[in-house]
Structure 1
């Protein structure tokens, strides 16, 4: 108690760090609720606007520093920058991301000044939803681990079919408010919310008991366990390829397969290196398809006398669909690129300072046009369409499916090899939440894990543990009908936020009039 009253900002930092334990890999979600409840209790005692913002900002600083600790590990693979810079990068990113909870607490302070009897949990839940959506969209967005992710595997996560992950974040804030009310001896006002959460959890668990009805489409998902420092080592090129080939296995007569390899699976430019396409097609049966990540280069050609010089000016982070005869059937270019990872903002200013992007190479990646469905030329069932979200793109709720045709599944080639112990399970958790929101199977293939086959309810049909080589051979799960969220997207959590804010204000006004 002394810490919260005499040093509220330190308490807020510690509460923010505690809140991060609710996410994967720890999953201690009750502690996240306790932490948010503590933040609300501190916010109720703030006397000035600056103090309100600083309180939320300190909470965010602790929260994002702990939750995003995996980013520091990525710097150990970039020799162009000192490795210790990774720890500074984690804190620097947290300094920015903390602005969003800071704004939420500031908004709560301002509204409580206007409505002293304001229902704090309802209004704070509304502000939190809006602040998280802002974090996911402003300055290219960083949507990693919104608070609603703590509900994964509780049954409440299935409610994201209707209100999305940001709506689940609002539920988390309401639940934290209920804990605070109960701690103060006020049970009766929060009993309706407790009943609603219990009903959602029960409904969610019951829905997960429904059996899965797979398609007849065979899939093979490969995880070669190739570390980041081995991926671009030319001396290991043959060894790495052999791992991929052996895990892929021999063709199966009469059973076409969809084969999935990770992001940046081979060091090849497939559209300009036919010898690589022939090498890959030798692994396939007559009707097999190979999906893999790679690079699409872009060159500038200059004529100098009798010689034409080509200069690499950019590239796309792509996913390719390769047929058994070595033809490229389709390509998807990653649209949502990672700043400082795949391109260096303000390159002219930052490069002279010694900064570089984390992905090896000098040319920046260029963004693709966005989500779309790729038709797959396979026999058997109705011709399936495949959606693609490369690595980081999978974390953006409501932005993973696009185009006039709804895909049968999402392919998520990723490279989590440089994300330490916390990054891969957090990434997998977010892929599972996308499958629940969209009612769509997800296929993840990564170099070192965690690769997985996920059904349309977010269940892990099969997975390969972190830092293990292996392959998943299974039948593709059948997608479910589009959810409410799949139809309307993030307008739904915004409606939830508006309703919560309106309720808080309307319940405050009669008390004020007395």
Structure 2
């Protein structure tokens, strides 16, 4: 098949996506990346290598993002079949990044030549550096879409712990390096491959955090999953039905203080005061807050997700995808407004142009969401400081923590009911990688799963599986001291990329 490089690139890209959840076939991903490096090395021209890298990306992102189609099943204004086109169109764009990465690696081999014309360690290092840079750009340009960075394939293994030292993008570069070592082994260059295998083996033993141990002296957290999705969201009984189910699984107060956390946007009532009276059609917000507070003991607290409204005088200008703390008296504490909104999901870009064409945002409603100011740490009495990352904000490496006021844990309320069977488990894997990077436990609450308590090493303390209603309660995991990544952020990725390029140049010049 390698005689048909374009078809091979497309198939290899498609299969490479099986290394992510739910399949977790990460050795397959490494093999597919090795194939991509082979195709890159043997490309006869810049145009051909860009096309091969792009087709690899088309296959990779089409399968990896298949869950996006499911979101269109809940939007009456657009047919569900449009979701399949959305997946493909997104893949056509995202594929540009691996194409550029391979183009840069190919160009490097032409600019910095060795004595022999065969793949070497310099080529592999150049490819790893290029991948780091282009994957970072994928996560930042045009609001960014860093879903499933290549480093996420290591989450089921101890190698993922390296993210605490170098971050996700550098871990992705390591993934390309390991794939390159496999490729060099097929070219009878075994020293790099054996050294890489030994390094991974030693790292795996050294970094393995073992099984999580619960500290029973710490206050408890209870993560609630009502297992109520988007079906019937426009029905009049939806709001009380959801609230009743959340209350049912919130449990009863006990001797140990509890932090009860609910999923994103599950309070379908307005709970803030001060809005024009016409907007309180569903009831007095004091009643809703009282209902929540009544579930709590004297030392308990809750963190709940709902919508805030923004006005210009009496005119509604937008909504916030928000999280509040609630005390036993039903009083609201601090509020966090989601800052990194989903284009076409929570707001419609270029609304004046696209709305007349029949396009609408996927989240139901007549007004767009308005972004909040960015990372914020909330004080939760009795439980410490909470950082908040609503839904897919958790996938943005290095962008979710207020560095001036480091939290003790992160709360990640999400609504993954939109995302079929692949999206929720991929989302969970990326949340686990954020926990490792920042050295912070994460409380992840979703309506339909997967809800989880994640410790600061990214280990699952407890979960509620997808498609089940229930709750998981455990002592709140303790944070770790600030990691190297939490101090330096994605500057570490830049350092790793630059170091790889410098080493690649040195190797090739020495080989002359």
SS at match of 1:229: coil
Question: Aligned pair 1:281/2:282, yes or no?
Answer: no
2:176 is matched with 173
Question: Aligned pair 1:135/2:138, yes or no?
Answer: yes
Equivalences for residues 15-30 of structure 1 within 5 A: 15-30=12-27
Give how far 1:210 is off: 7.0
For 1:74 and 1:52, locate their aligned partners in 2 and report how far apart those are by CA, in whole Å: 34
On the 8 A contact 1:24/1:425 being kept in 2, the answer is: yes
The change in CA–CA distance for 1:145 and 1:407 in structure 2 (over 3 A counts) is same
SS at match of 1:116: coil
1:83 is matched with 80
On the 8 A contact 2:239/2:269 being kept in 1, the answer is: no
Runs (4+) of structure 1 exceeding 3 A deviation are 209-215
For 1:209 and 1:466, locate their aligned partners in 2 and report how far apart those are by CA, in whole Å: 23
Equivalences for residues 341-352 of structure 1 within 5 A: 341-352=345-356
2:477 is matched with 477
For 1:225 and 1:124, locate their aligned partners in 2 and report how far apart those are by CA, in whole Å: 44
The change in CA–CA distance for 1:209 and 1:262 in structure 2 (over 3 A counts) is closer
SS at match of 2:463: strand
Give how far 1:377 is off: 1.7
For 1:106 and 1:236, locate their aligned partners in 2 and report how far apart those are by CA, in whole Å: 52
Question: Aligned pair 1:70/2:67, yes or no?
Answer: yes
1:221 is matched with 223
1:321 is matched with 325
For 1:209 and 1:239, locate their aligned partners in 2 and report how far apart those are by CA, in whole Å: 38
On the 8 A contact 2:212/2:455 being kept in 1, the answer is: no
The change in CA–CA distance for 1:315 and 1:34 in structure 2 (over 3 A counts) is same
The change in CA–CA distance for 1:259 and 1:231 in structure 2 (over 3 A counts) is farther
For 1:365 and 1:249, locate their aligned partners in 2 and report how far apart those are by CA, in whole Å: 32
Segment drifting more, 269-278 vs 391-400: 269-278
The change in CA–CA distance for 1:166 and 1:224 in structure 2 (over 3 A counts) is same
Give how far 1:212 is off: 4.8
1:124 is matched with 127
Give how far 1:4 is off: 2.2
1:203 is matched with 206
2:281 is matched with none
Question: Aligned pair 1:99/2:100, yes or no?
Answer: no
SS at match of 1:474: strand
1:426 is matched with 426
SS at match of 1:156: helix
Give how far 1:403 is off: 4.0
Question: Aligned pair 1:297/2:309, yes or no?
Answer: yes
For 1:212 and 1:353, locate their aligned partners in 2 and report how far apart those are by CA, in whole Å: 54
Question: Aligned pair 1:256/2:254, yes or no?
Answer: no
2:279 is matched with none
On the 8 A contact 1:208/1:457 being kept in 2, the answer is: no
On the 8 A contact 1:372/1:403 being kept in 2, the answer is: no
The change in CA–CA distance for 1:268 and 1:237 in structure 2 (over 3 A counts) is closer
SS at match of 1:495: helix
For 1:174 and 1:33, locate their aligned partners in 2 and report how far apart those are by CA, in whole Å: 9
Give how far 1:285 is off: 1.9
For 1:239 and 1:188, locate their aligned partners in 2 and report how far apart those are by CA, in whole Å: 63
1:361 is matched with 365
1:304 is matched with none
Deviations 1:432-469 (A, max 9, x none): 11111111100000000000001011110000000100
Give how far 1:215 is off: 5.0
For 1:436 and 1:510, locate their aligned partners in 2 and report how far apart those are by CA, in whole Å: 37
Taking structure 1 as the reference length, the TM-score comes to 0.94
Segment drifting more, 111-120 vs 52-61: 111-120
Size of the alignment, in residue pairs?
495
For 2:501 and 2:468, locate their aligned partners in 1 and report how far apart those are by CA, in whole Å: 48
Q: CA RMSD in A?
A: 1.4
Give how far 1:288 is off: 1.8
SS at match of 1:387: strand
1:396 is matched with 396
Deviations 1:3-30 (A, max 9, x none): 322x312211111111100000000000
For 1:239 and 1:270, locate their aligned partners in 2 and report how far apart those are by CA, in whole Å: 17
On the 8 A contact 1:288/1:323 being kept in 2, the answer is: yes
Segment drifting more, 213-222 vs 494-503: 213-222
Unpaired runs of 5+ residues, structure 2, are: 115-119, 274-284
SS at match of 2:139: helix
Give how far 1:214 is off: 5.5
Equivalences for residues 438-477 of structure 1 within 5 A: 438-477=438-477
Give how far 1:338 is off: 0.6
Unpaired runs of 5+ residues, structure 1, are: 302-309
Taking structure 2 as the reference length, the TM-score comes to 0.94
1:235 to 222, 237, 240: 237
Give how far 1:55 is off: 1.2
SS at match of 1:216: coil
Segment drifting more, 111-120 vs 257-266: 111-120
Question: Aligned pair 1:144/2:147, yes or no?
Answer: yes
1:157 is matched with 160
On the 8 A contact 1:398/1:489 being kept in 2, the answer is: yes
On the 8 A contact 2:170/2:496 being kept in 1, the answer is: yes
